[in-house]
Amino acid sequence: QVQLVESGGGLVQAGGSLRLSCEASGSRPRKYASGWFRQGPGKEREFVAAISWSGDTTIYADAVRGRFIISRDDAKNTVYLQMNSLKLGDTAVYYCAADPGLVAAARDSDDYEYWGQGTQVTVSS
């Protein structure tokens, strides 16, 4: 079993920055391919960013490429999402996801077995 706990969400003005963290714990090996997804008000959950098991490959949704950076610190069992130049449209609940059997960075939420509880990010004007 794997538990994922997100933190770092909050209220920020447009143009500001936030860094989300996702710490993994549990009995399984703690290095996973991981992803971030989000669900805005009245919207379906969508892919944001993902990082491969090795950390060598990262992929991003078009809406966040150039503004968000996904990274990992395996010593801390943590994946980060640095969010810069935040826009009103980035307001959403952000979820991290991981899968011990996944090697590549993946966009499809079905590829991930484990999910965090979500953290709210609200961008104000």
Find the mean pLDDT for residues 106-111.
96
Mean pLDDT of 30-56: 94
How far, in whole angstroms, is CA 41 from its chain's centroid? 18
More confident residue, 2 or 47: 47
- Residue 29 has what pLDDT? 61
Indicate if the pLDDT at residue 61 is higher than 70: yes
Under the banding of pLDDT at 50, 70 and 90, the label for residue 105 is very high
Section 87-114 average pLDDT: 95
